[in-house]
């Protein structure tokens, strides 16, 4: 009897089952994610992927004309490659990573069909969510100050893929995004150090 | 209305978004922010945390941009970059 009672809400609708799984996984993931972005294995993983992507960026572009405008253009390509690799390293568990990757797909293919399909899968209830954030934020007791609302909007714009999400989603995505960005900065700084060391001709120091 | 609510449940996670949950998330965010950690005060309001978060994310973006420009400049010297990359891969 108890088993049927337990299984009923689980098997009744896919949504509630996914919700329960999401809840349980979300709690573990929240702890795991912060550790995940700080672990050495993740950093190694990210830096090796980044190196591969960067070598592709360099080789992909034709020999550049000797113009100073190249640096910002190349810099942006490097930044995009780094963001893409970061999103891949997230393994699709977070909204911002999926948004980064789907934005890349949109830019690369530029087809309306893919855009519609991607928008439908990634942010399914986006149509209704345009009214949702107002409702959900107003429902918060004491958090309905316009200042807080404005800041949440700004934050939602900063984190990719979170423009129309309700407050708790934005906060969660922001925590993961910040941890990931910190790791990205660490890896890229270490890489720049190593490259500038070896570029200067001195014997490269062993990796710390 | 019910369809909207059910959709909100799907993406929101839990429909009655409790204050505690939000406080929890905000405090988690607070832990990540270096400035607030150093301030060591428990009286940080949500607005401050959000403001600091926005500032921090913007500064991280700027740092990534600077680093990527620096890397692109370093990578342009192809010979040293190739050797460096191969060396790094071997070392790792």
- pLDDT tens digit sequence for A74-127: 777 778 888 888 888 877 778 888 888 888 888 877 755 655 555 555 544 444
Contacts of B55 in chain A (CB under 8 A): none
Distance of CA A135 to the CA centre of its chain: 26
Instruction: Evaluate if residue A198 carries a pLDDT over 70.
Output: no
The pLDDT score that the predictor gives to residue B30 is: 81
Closest CA–CA distance from residue B69 to any residue of chain A (Å): 4
The CATH superfamily label for domain B3-91 reads: Helix-loop-helix DNA-binding domain (4.10.280.10)
The tokens of A110 are what?
């530029």
Contacts of A179 in chain B (CB under 8 A): 32
Which one of B14, B29, B46, B89 would you mutate to disrupt binding with A, by most A Cβ within 10 Å of its Cβ?
B46
pLDDT per position as a tens digit, A42-73: 777 777 777 777 666 654 444 444 444 555 66
The pLDDT score that the predictor gives to residue A15 is: 54
The pLDDT score that the predictor gives to residue A55 is: 67
The pLDDT score that the predictor gives to residue B42 is: 64
The pLDDT score that the predictor gives to residue B58 is: 92
pTM above 0.80, yes or no: no
The pLDDT score that the predictor gives to residue A127 is: 46
SS3 A61: coil
Mean pLDDT of B82-91: 66
3-state SS of chain B is CHHHHHHHHHHHCCCCCCHHHHHHHHHHHHHHCHHHHHHCCCCCCHHHHHHHHHHHHHHHHHHHHHHHHHHHHHHHCHHHHHHHHHHHHHHC
Give the closest residue to A172 by CA, choosing from B52, B92, B51, B25.
B25
The tokens of A63 are what?
């020999």
The tokens of A103 are what?
């934005």
The tokens of B80 are what?
């040293």
With beta carbons less than 8 A apart as the criterion, state whether B56 and A174 touch.
Answer: no
Instruction: Evaluate if residue B74 carries a pLDDT over 70.
Output: yes
Q: Which of A76, A140, A191 lies nearest to residue B19, judging by beta carbons?
A: A140
Domain boundaries, chain B: 3-91
- The residues in B 50-89 lying below 8 A from A, measured between CB atoms, are 50-51, 53-54, 56-58, 60-61, 63-65, 67-78, 80-85, 87-89
The pLDDT score that the predictor gives to residue A90 is: 79
The reply to whether residue A178 touches residue B57, judged by beta carbons under 8 angstroms, is yes
Q: Per-residue confidence at B11, pLDDT binned at 50, 70, 90? A: very low
pLDDT per position as a tens digit, A18-39: 555 555 555 555 555 566 777 7
Number of CB atoms found within 10 A of residue A19's CB: 19
Closest CA–CA distance from residue B67 to any residue of chain A (Å): 6
Mean pLDDT of A176-192: 86
The pLDDT score that the predictor gives to residue A81 is: 80
Which positions ≥6 away from A132 have C-beta within 8 Å?
A125, A164, A166, B4, B8, B11, B12
Q: Per-residue confidence at A7, pLDDT binned at 50, 70, 90? A: very low
Q: Which of B69, B80, B88 lies nearest to residue A51, judging by beta carbons?
A: B88
Instruction: Evaluate if residue A150 carries a pLDDT over 60.
Output: yes
The reply to whether residue B22 touches residue A171, judged by beta carbons under 8 angstroms, is yes
How far is Cα A116 from Cα B87, in angstroms, rounded to an integer?
44
Phi, psi for residue A100 in degrees, rounded to 5:
-60, -45
pLDDT per position as a tens digit, B39-72: 666 667 778 888 888 888 999 999 989 888 887 7
Closest CA–CA distance from residue B1 to any residue of chain A (Å): 10
The pLDDT score that the predictor gives to residue B91 is: 60
């Amino acid at each position: 009897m108890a088993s049927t009672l337990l299984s009923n809400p689980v098997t009744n609708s896919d949504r509630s089952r996914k919700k329960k799984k999401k809840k349980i996984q979300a709690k573990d993931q929240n702890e795991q994610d912060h550790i995940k972005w700080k672990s050495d294995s993740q950093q190694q993983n990210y830096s090796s992927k980044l190196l591969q992507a960067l070598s592709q960026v360099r080789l992909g572009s034709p020999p550049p004309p000797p113009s100073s405008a190249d640096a910002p253009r190349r810099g942006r390509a490097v930044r995009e490659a780094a963001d893409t690799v970061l999103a891949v390293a997230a393994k699709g568990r977070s909204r911002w990573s999926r948004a980064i990757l789907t934005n890349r797909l949109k830019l690369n293919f530029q087809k309306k069909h893919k855009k519609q399909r991607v928008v439908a899968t990634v942010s399914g209830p986006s149509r209704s969510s345009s009214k949702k954030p107002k409702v959900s934020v107003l429902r918060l007791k004491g958090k309905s100050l316009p200042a807080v609302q404005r800041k949440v909007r700004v934050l939602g714009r900063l984190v990719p893929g979170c423009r129309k999400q309700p407050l708790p989603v934005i906060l969660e995505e922001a925590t993961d995004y910040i941890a990931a960005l910190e790791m990205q900065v660490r890896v890229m700084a270490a890489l720049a150090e190593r490259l500038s060391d070896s570029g200067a001709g001195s014997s490269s120091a062993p990796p710390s | 209305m019910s369809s909207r609510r059910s959709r909100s449940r799907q993406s929101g996670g839990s429909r009655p978004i409790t204050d505690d949950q939000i406080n929890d998330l905000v405090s988690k965010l607070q832990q990540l922010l270096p400035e607030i950690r150093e301030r060591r005060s428990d009286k940080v309001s949500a607005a401050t945390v959000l403001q600091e978060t926005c500032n921090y994310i913007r500064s991280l973006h700027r740092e990534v941009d600077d680093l990527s420009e620096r890397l692109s400049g370093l990578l342009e010297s192809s010979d040293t970059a190739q050797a460096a990359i191969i060396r790094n891969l071997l070392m790792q």
